Amino acid sequence: MPTPRETILQALLAALQTLPATVLRGDVLPERVPAGGLLILRDGEPGEPEVTLSPLRYHYEHRAELEVVVQGKASADRDAAFDVLTSAIGTALAADRTLGGLCDWVEAEAPRPVDLPVEGGQALKAAVVPVVLHYSTADPLF
């Protein structure tokens, strides 16, 4: 049986897989970026929990990361594709801020995009989008 942390990450992945981009979890950047863009979910770090007693609960602000990558010939095309993809991420998260009741709250932080030249190919526009997952568990290993 998966832990609550793993269940939450799987639910986040499932929510992202509704987007028009290719969505991976924990994979390396492939040689080719799909036309609709690419999202790679990184598990991130749960951080130090706040602890409450009676009942004992560990309250996490787990910071997962989404690597967002789009490719295109023209800068305007990359900018537009990136904007569409990041907006779609925001819409998907806003549709269910609790991931079906698994989290107290899910929110994304603003990306810091960079343009990356590719020798002999189309340039990439990429960013890491932190996604903060607020949840509680009865044990730090669960």
- CATH number of the CATH domain containing 20: 3.30.70
User: How many domains does the chain contain in total?
Assistant: 1
Say if 29 falls within a structural domain: yes
Say if 21 falls within a structural domain: yes
Positions of E strands within 20-122: 22-25, 38-45, 50-52, 57-72, 105-108, 114-116
**Domain assignment of residue 47, given as a range:** 4-136
Residue 141 has pLDDT above 90, yes or no: no
Say if 142 falls within a structural domain: no
Average pLDDT on 88-109 reads 97
Q: 10 Å Cβ neighbour count for 101?
A: 8
pLDDT tens across 66-92, in order? 999 999 888 889 999 999 999 999 999
Average pLDDT on 26-39 reads 92
- Its pTM stands at 0.93
